[in-house]
């Protein structure tokens, strides 16, 4: 009779469990992530879990690769084709599985005992069914923790996608600048080679000292060494971009970059309320908020389960001799020593930590927003100074040097030196332009709600630094 009650209880709990259970879904969270990043200016995300071969869309892209790679195109390809990014989406599945796990009741335990009397006779049999009753009460709490973790995971994946976009952009700008600088280094090498050549001719004619020829040669050879360096840098940055776009084989050789976009002063309008916008949009802050929720729920869970982390109810039947003796069982830990105070204290400390980290993060975001805006404006002014003032002046210097040469007031070596200085100014302009676009990428990322993971600014506190929160004290 009591046995029936126990079974009835088990069936009831299974039914309740069925209502509370979260179904397993391999795509869980991805649409929200796609929406999150799309709202923040990143292109549409695609994810084809389980498909190993290259996405068919890459074929369409490859025809466009030859036309000159733009920054937007590079980002699209990276999002489509970077397998590390695709692997990142699997983290959603992991977090979701944790959520499913948290929603499941611990299975009831069934035990069978038997005894064989040495004197012979009927075998003694014992049968017991036990179930953690309080687990039923704790499950919703556990689920709330796991839900917060799952939300956090989605935010973190979205943040990682934005990082990938940023990495691709910065790699693109760096490579673009490297290619242009390389071309200019070639010109410097050509100019110094011409100077050296001319110096040799002057020497052959008996008109120049060996010292002057050697000086010209030194300049020419150093320019060649600089050219080698520029070649290495360009090859490196190209491979970094290939890596980010997930390109290999023929695809990796197919593309060339478009020249750097000229700076448009209008587009440089920095966001006046960048600080507020960056805070409002911040995925890191949202994730930190979710972590606080999870920590708070953990405190509640630990408080609730402090005295009685488990309450086991069940029934048993024993056959002693020929008689069955059914009866209920009840196991309750006696909170004599461990009354859960340590677990509660730990959970509370973790909550405090989460809150402090959130505040620290907000301070960091504000500071980085201000410095990013300052850098963007500064680099913009610098790039414009080069474009609108320095380069035209260098051009004028060259033109006037040519006229002075035409007037036979200065020599051809002086003229070539002016050309070389003009190219060097061009290289500095390319450098200034690259810095501007890198700052622009940081600015965009901040507006999208993510701290730029630059070396200069230490990375935002990763939430994974926090210890994994216990889902159940039973496990």
Partner 1 sequence: MKLQHKSRTLNRRRFLAGAAALGSTGVLLRQVEATEGNLSHQHHQATARPVLSTAPQSLLDRIDPKPTQPPGEPGKDYTPVITPNNVSLAWKVVNGIKVYHLIAEEVEHQFAPGLHARCWGFNGRVHGPTIEAVEGDRVRVYVTNKLPGATSVHWHGLLLPNGMDGVAGLTQAVIKPGATFRYEFTLRQHGTFMYHSHHDEMTQMALGAMGLFVIHPRKPKAERPDRDFAFMLAEWRLDVGTSRPNPNEMTDFNIFTFNAKAFPATAPMAVRLGERVRIRLANVAAMSHHPIHLHGYQFRVTETDGGQIPLSAQQRETSVLVAIGQSRTIEFVADEPGDWAMHCHMTHHVMNQMGDKFPNMIGVKAAEVDAQVRRLLPDYMTMGHDGMAEHGIHLDTGHMKVPENSIPMRGGPGPFDYITMGGLLTVLKVREELDDDRAPGWYQHPKGTVASTATVAELQRDGIKV
| Binding-site ranges for partner 1 (CB under 8 A) | 187, 190-191, 193-194, 197-198, 201-202, 204-208, 398, 400, 402-416, 419
Residues sharing a CB contact under 8 Å with residue 268, sequence separation 6 or more, in sequence order: 376, 377, 380
Between 58 and 208, CB nearer to partner 1 = 208
Report in angstroms how near the CB of residue 203 gets to partner 1 at its nearest: 9
Report in angstroms how near the CB of residue 285 gets to partner 1 at its nearest: 54
Report in angstroms how near the CB of residue 427 gets to partner 1 at its nearest: 15
Report d(CA 96, CA 336) in Å as an integer: 37
The tokens for 472 are: 């159940």
**Which residues share a beta bridge with 305?**
none
Between 168 and 187, CB nearer to partner 1 = 187
DSSP 385: I
Between 61 and 188, CB nearer to partner 1 = 188
Residue that the structure tokens 């200065």 belong to: 410
Report in angstroms how near the CB of residue 189 gets to partner 1 at its nearest: 11
Between 312 and 410, CB nearer to partner 1 = 410
Between 177 and 198, CB nearer to partner 1 = 198
Between 99 and 198, CB nearer to partner 1 = 198
Between 351 and 416, CB nearer to partner 1 = 416
Between 152 and 420, CB nearer to partner 1 = 420
The angle subtended at Cα 181 by Cα 179 and Cα 183, nearest 5°, is: 70
By three-state DSSP, how is residue 318 classified?
A: strand
State whether the Cα torsion 271-274-278-281 is positive or negative. negative
3-class SS shares of the chain: helix, strand, coil, % to 5: 70, 10, 25
Q: Is 50 exposed, middle or buried (0-12, 13-18, 19+ CB in 10 A)?
A: exposed
Residue 246 CA: distances (Å) to CA of 4, 78, 168, 249, 298: 62, 6, 11, 10, 40
The tokens for 349 are: 């400390």
Which pairs count as long-range contacts for 235-240, CB under 8 Å and 24+ apart, including other chains?
A: 237/171, 237/174, 237/175, 237/178, 238/175, 240/171, 240/174, 240/175
Contact status, residue 171 vs residue 351, Cβ threshold 8 Å: no
| Three-class DSSP labels, 109-137 | EEEEEEECCCCCCCCEEEEEEEEEHHHHH
Between 356 and 399, CB nearer to partner 1 = 399
Report in angstroms how near the CB of residue 430 gets to partner 1 at its nearest: 18
Report in angstroms how near the CB of residue 373 gets to partner 1 at its nearest: 40
Report in angstroms how near the CB of residue 188 gets to partner 1 at its nearest: 10
Report in angstroms how near the CB of residue 201 gets to partner 1 at its nearest: 5
Report in angstroms how near the CB of residue 428 gets to partner 1 at its nearest: 18
């Amino acid at each position: 009779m009591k046995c029936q009650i126990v079974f009835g209880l088990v069936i009831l709990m299974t039914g309740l469990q069925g209502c509370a259970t979260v179904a397993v879904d391999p795509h869980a969270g991805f649409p929200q992530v796609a929406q999150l990043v799309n709202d923040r200016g990143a292109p549409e995300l695609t994810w084809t879990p389980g498909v190993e071969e290259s996405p068919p869309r890459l074929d369409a892209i490859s025809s466009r690769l030859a036309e000159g790679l733009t920054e937007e195109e590079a980002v699209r390809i990276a999002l489509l084709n970077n397998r590390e990014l695709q692997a990142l989406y699997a983290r959603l599945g992991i977090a979701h599985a944790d959520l499913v796990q948290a929603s499941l009741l611990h299975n009831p335990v069934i035990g069978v005992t038997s005894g064989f009397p040495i004197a012979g006779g009927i075998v003694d049999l014992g049968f017991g069914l036990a179930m953690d009753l309080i687990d039923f009460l704790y499950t919703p709490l556990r689920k709330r923790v796991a839900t917060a973790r799952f939300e956090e995971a989605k935010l973190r994946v979205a943040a990682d996608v934005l990082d990938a976009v940023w990495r691709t952009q910065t790699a693109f700008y760096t490579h673009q600048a490297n290619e242009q600088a390389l071309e200019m280094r070639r010109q410097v090498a050509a100019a110094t080679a011409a100077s050296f050549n001319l110096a040799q001719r002057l020497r052959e004619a008996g008109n120049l000292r060996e010292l002057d020829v050697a000086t010209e040669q030194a300049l020419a050879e150093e320019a060649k060494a600089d050219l080698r360096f520029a070649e290495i840098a360009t090859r490196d940055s190209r491979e970094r971009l290939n890596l980010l776009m997930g390109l290999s084989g023929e695809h990796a050789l197919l593309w060339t970059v478009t020249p750097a976009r000229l700076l448009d002063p209008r587009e440089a309008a920095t966001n006046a309320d960048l600080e507020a916008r960056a805070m409002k949009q911040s995925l890191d802050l949202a994730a930190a908020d979710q972590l606080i929720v999870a920590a708070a729920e953990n405190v509640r869970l630990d408080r609730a389960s402090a005295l009685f982390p488990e309450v086991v109810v069940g029934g048993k039947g024993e056959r002693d001799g020929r008689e069955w003796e059914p009866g209920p069982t009840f196991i309750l830990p006696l909170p004599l020593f461990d009354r859960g105070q340590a677990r509660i204290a730990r959970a509370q400390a973790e909550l405090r930590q989460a809150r402090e980290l959130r505040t620290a993060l907000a301070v960091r975001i504000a500071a980085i927003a201000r410095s990013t805006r300052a850098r963007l404006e500064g680099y913009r002014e610098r790039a414009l100074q080069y474009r609108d003032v320095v380069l035209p002046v260098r051009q004028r210097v060259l033109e006037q040097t040519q006229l002075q040469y035409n007037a036979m007031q200065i020599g051809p070596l002086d003229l070539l030196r002016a050309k070389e200085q003009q190219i060097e100014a061009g290289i500095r302009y390319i450098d200034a332009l690259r810095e501007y676009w890198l700052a622009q990428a940081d600015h965009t990322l901040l507006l999208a709600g993510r701290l730029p993971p630059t070396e200069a600014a230490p990375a935002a506190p990763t939430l994974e630094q926090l210890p994994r929160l216990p889902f159940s004290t039973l496990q």
